[in-house]
A and B are shown apart, each in its own frame.
Chain A
Amino acid sequence: MTERVLEVEHLVTEFRLRSGPVRAVDDVSFHVDAGECVGLVGESGCGKSTTGLSIMRLLPQVGHIVGGRIVLGGRDLVGLSEEEMRRVRGREVAMVFQDPMTSLNPTMTIGRQVAEPLRIHERMPKEQARERALELLRLVGIPNPAERLDDYPHQLSGGLRQRVVIATALAAQPKLLIADEPTTALDVTIQAQILDLLDELRESLGMALVLITHDMGVIAGRTDRVMVMYAGKIVEGAPTVELFRHMRHPYAEALLESIPQLDQDADAPLYSIPGHPPDLSEPQVGCRFAPRCRYATQECSTTEPPVVEEEGNRFVACYHPVGESQGSRRHMVDQEQTLRWHAAATARRAALEGAPLLVEVEHLVKEFPIRRGILQRAKDSVKAVSDVSFAIRQGETFGLAGESGCGKSTIGRLVVALDRPTSGRIRLGGQELLRLGSAELRRRRRDVQLMFQDPYASLDPRMRVGSILREPLLVQGIGDRRAQWQAVARLLGEVGLSRKATGLYPHEFSGGQRQRIGLARALTLEPRLVVADEQALQERHGLTYLVISHDLAVLRYLSDTIGVMYLGKLVEVGPAGRVYDAPAHPYTRGLIGSIPIPDPSRERSKRGGGIRGELPSPVHPPSGCRFRTRCPLAEPICAEQEPPMQVFGPGHAAACHFPLQTPTTDAPAPPGVVLGQPREPEPV
């Protein structure tokens, strides 16, 4: 008989806004046993975070628990006074938030922050608390914890910071830990490490864990049971293995279908859930998912489906639960469309064969000087990009992958000529843009457009969308007033936005819509190359793309060719399918292995195989092969000699002394990649 740690019964939480109450959590019930991990999954705004904050009683000012019980360790938290609650937080339940930078105090050393709960809850003397803090930092896997105690948060990397946050949460040994998107702000390699840590701690401390995430892969690999939330309700709950064996609620099914996966058919269209989640400030009638559901009938929109217990310790709230036969993936997208996409993909690939090179990057180097002192003399430099060469064919989508800090975004900015390289060449259609005179460069900028990582930040908040889209035409002097507005209307149609959008400001749109505005603006000038920084595209508009992303599943889905970067170096490049199915570089293999797969059995079997450690400093990169400090195959030679690029198949090359497959010599090398000994970058 396992001990029940948390029991949430019919929880209702409302935000009382000026415009009226918004019922963010509506009649939510679930429980968590000791040592168990329960996942809460759903789209943003579904109420999963609000549920976590309700348990902590840390809701914002306008948030109120208006009904239900939250029983933690036999006590109902809902009725407790703030003073009583203060004693519960940290000691019985603790929370880890998404962004480790903002959840740590930048003015306190990490030692003091970890010790703080001990000083508060156990009135531990200073010295003893410091000792305990040291133990905790060791427990969460911080290397050399004794040296780190007096560091400040900004001196740590994102991954280490999140470990510190976890140590702080664990300090007073809570029975329950709530982790709200604990790894969303981190790289996949670090994500795997943090999730491993949470798993280990749960086992060794017997702690219960509530894991809140949007990522089905994380859910599959880490949780024992899952609650799928939609619009404030739990629509389906099941043991994780059961849930992924067959989903019962159409929303859960749609959620899984709408994310790109490594093993899926990269030429088929992705399913997208039509419509929006309902407006929770209005009273809800019937099933909340009904307007977006493919199986909805009259009954669904008039009466709310009751929660039905099913065999296998699971329940679902739906009149027409999805059948037991899993069928093939992609069955939600209609067959005809899939066929059309396949045909288009085949035609594209044929056209790519023998297509001319549009972008040629040769021995590209970019170093950012670190200036110190009164004279601002350069003391050192950040080696952001170190001797990178590749080429993009006309009409090709080239995906550039790697952890944050690997230099991929710097390459993006260099390619669109927003930054000057330290040395090396970038040619567009055979011509170096930065060699052009300023007037000619200004005119030619229309050929290369950048889509920014954060579409909201790239749109002037004080300009309405109409003016934003018209501006490039105005600047380049294309067309008269009428023609420009017609072009704006056409672009909006192309990206699927209404003409009404012209009169609205960027803040009046959702994240996805802003992204489409960003896309529309990038397309305004009919560029030859679009560089998309952390942007997912689905429609290629017949253009050439350089897509930069840390998400390999997305890149696999989008790209024809993939380049993998590590700490300023291109370590592997090749056709997307080949790089994924048969990577030659250990880093590529590790990176692919770190992506959480939404399949419990496969996700669980790969435990512990990921890349260890953190990205070294780009100011003093390791000698020889830069990956050697984290490589499982590293030998002394890796520290002495930089590995040259070798060919592993048609268009597939990698730079490693101990590649995962034997190099071939007779296959053609990928375009643009310079083989043999890397050239010493010459200063300009």
Chain B
Amino acid sequence: MTTTGEPRQGDPTEAAGPATRAMVEGDSQSEPSGAPGGNGTAIGGELLRDEHLATRDAEVVEPTSWLRLAATTFAENRLALVGLGVIVFMVLFSFVGPLIYHTNQVATNLIDENLSPSAAHLLGTSPEGRDELGRLMVGGQSTIEVGLGVGLLSTLFGLVYGALAGYVGGVVDAVLMRIVDAMLSIPYLFFVVLLAALIRPNLLVVILVLSAVSWLSTARLVRGETLSLRERDYVVAAKGFGSRAREIVRRHVTPNLLGVVVVNGTLTVANAILAFASITYLGLGPPPPATSWGNMLSTGINNLFDGYWWQLWPAAFLIVVTVLAINVIGDGLADVVEVRLQKR
């Protein structure tokens, strides 16, 4: 987390300070540096001059909505906008694409196996003779569902769990965090292999398993942040005017966690897509004809030395582009949350 504190003596930003200060009128503060005596001693004189403000100022001064402000800031980050565009394209490609570009992704057609790209099959065919472009669309569906599903599920759960442990503290914290430690000590592939042996893994199971693994690091991160947030003066101030614990968590703790949580969340999405790819690469994912980009990647690698490049590169390209897009969206969201770095 970036914390921009008070500029120190000799800090270059200090020389530039008056520009920002001038944004607020009605200020005439002489400020001998660091002098507790000097600070704020101008309040009285100021009051006398600004008395008229108080009476005139009966109209409502509600500021513009937070959402609009957030959207503007996000839009200022061009790269994040591109990332958002990419994700929208991927979703349309995977979910709307098959409605336009009809292919049979269930039947095996050995006559058409391993065809190179042509007018009939724009990206060639798979070893089972299925159209690769259509397959990328279908594979994209499961990939996106797993990525976003795991990202959301593990972030939400990790956030609540970590915030609870950190804010309540004491015995609750100790017990909750030991559970996390215990779970972290089990390798996630063990879970997957175990589950694959017990039940036939479908998409929901994959999402649950990957979430069960990814929320742990989120919870740890959130708990650590919460521990430090809990002691901040503004939290004490909120207690001081009578806020309840849940009000404090909602208004002060959670918003200040968002920075790390959002960035961590996008990493989780990216990691989940890659983990899903490796699970299906090992053949532990949903069985054929279901597929995913990771699954297609593994097939492509198996056939790499036969020169069937179209079975490998398009899937690899889509995975990399999607993960990158999600990461830059994360950066954009971090900008929105990190209000101190916004230029206005």
Contact = CB atoms under 8 A, between A and B. Distances in A.
Interface of A: 15, 17, 19, 22, 24, 43-45, 47, 49-50, 52-53, 60, 62-63, 98, 180-181, 184, 214-215, 232, 254-255, 258-260, 269-270, 272-281, 292, 337, 416, 418, 442-443, 445-446, 448-450, 452, 454, 456-464, 466-467, 471-472, 475-476, 481-482, 485-486, 488-490, 492-505, 507-513, 515-516, 519, 521, 524-525, 534-539, 549-551, 553-554
Given A180-B9, A281-B19, A536-B41, A502 B61 contact: yes
20 contacts: A15-B12, A15-B15, A44-B33, A50-B10, A181-B34, A254-B30, A258-B41, A273-B28, A280-B16, A445-B242, A450-B236, A460-B252, A462-B255, A462-B256, A467-B63, A492-B61, A498-B26, A503-B63, A507-B339, A510-B17
Nearest to B50: A496
Contact of A44 (B14, B23, B26, B40): B14
B37 A461 contact: no
Contacts of B9: 44, 49, 98, 180-181
B6 interface: yes
Contact of A279 (B6, B22, B36): B22
Contacts of B57: 489-490, 492-493, 499
A53 B238 CA distance: 41
Contacts of A259: 32, 35, 37-38
Nearest to B239: A418
B24 A466 contact: no
Contacts of B238: 471, 475
Pairs A-B, 4 closest by C-beta atoms: A44-B33, A493-B54, A49-B10, A273-B30
Given A276-B29, A461-B256, A508 B344 contact: yes
B340 A507 contact: yes
Contacts of A485: 60-62
A460 to B, nearest CB: 4
B234 A496 contact: no
Contacts of B40: 512, 515-516, 519, 535-538
A94 B33 CA distance: 23
Given A496-B26, A538-B42, A418 B35 contact: no
Given A442-B244, A463-B255, A513-B24, 9 more contacts: A60-B11, A454-B233, A475-B247, A495-B43, A505-B340, A511-B39, A516-B43, A536-B37, A536-B38
B242 A476 contact: yes
Contacts of B28: 272-276
Nearest to A413: B236
Contact of B41 (A260, A275, A482, A489): A260
A476 B61 CA distance: 20
B25 interface: yes
A276 B251 contact: no
Contacts of A551: 36-37
A452 B237 CA distance: 8
Interface string B39-71: 111111111111101111111111110000000
B234 A459 contact: yes
B31 A512 contact: yes
Give the most central of A45, A472, A498: most B CB within 10 Å.
A45
A180 B241 contact: no
A296 to B, nearest CB: 15
B289 interface: no
Given A184-B34, A418-B239, A464-B63, A497 B27 contact: yes
Contacts of B185: none
Nearest to B46: A496
Contacts of A516: 40, 43
A503 B240 CA distance: 24
B118 interface: no
Give the most central of B14, B31, B238: most A CB within 10 Å.
B31
Contacts of B29: 272, 276, 510, 512-513
B12 A443 contact: no
A488 B337 CA distance: 24
A505 B56 CA distance: 24
User: How large, as a class, is the contact surface on chain B?
Assistant: 35 or more
Give the most central of B13, B258, B342: most A CB within 10 Å.
B13
Given A446-B241, A475-B243, A519-B43, A214 B32 contact: yes
Contact of A277 (B18, B56, B232): B18
Nearest to B34: A184
Contacts of A254: 30
Contact of A525 (B35, B241, B243): B241
Nearest to A180: B9
B63 A466 contact: yes
B56 to A, nearest CB: 8
Contact of A504 (B24, B255, B256): B24
Contacts of A502: 61-63
A508 B23 contact: yes
B58 to A, nearest CB: 6
A272 B30 contact: yes
Nearest to A534: B36
Contacts of A476: 241-242
Give the most central of A44, A60, A481, A549: most B CB within 10 Å.
A44
A52 B10 contact: yes
Contacts of B242: 442-443, 445-446, 472, 475-476
A272 to B, nearest CB: 4
A280 B27 contact: no
B43 A537 contact: yes
Contacts of B247: 475
Contact of A214 (B8, B33, B45): B33
Nearest to A549: B36
Contact of A553 (B25, B37, B60): B37
B24 A50 contact: no
B36 A22 contact: no
B262 to A, nearest CB: 13
B253 to A, nearest CB: 10
Contacts of A454: 233
B24 A258 contact: no
A472 to B, nearest CB: 4
Given A462-B256, A496-B26, A17 B12 contact: yes
B171 to A, nearest CB: 11
A500 B236 CA distance: 27
A457 B236 CA distance: 10
Contacts of A507: 4, 339-340
Contact of A499 (B35, B61, B243): B61
Contacts of A255: 32
A504 B241 CA distance: 22
Contact of A258 (B30, B49, B252, B258): B30
A272 B252 contact: no
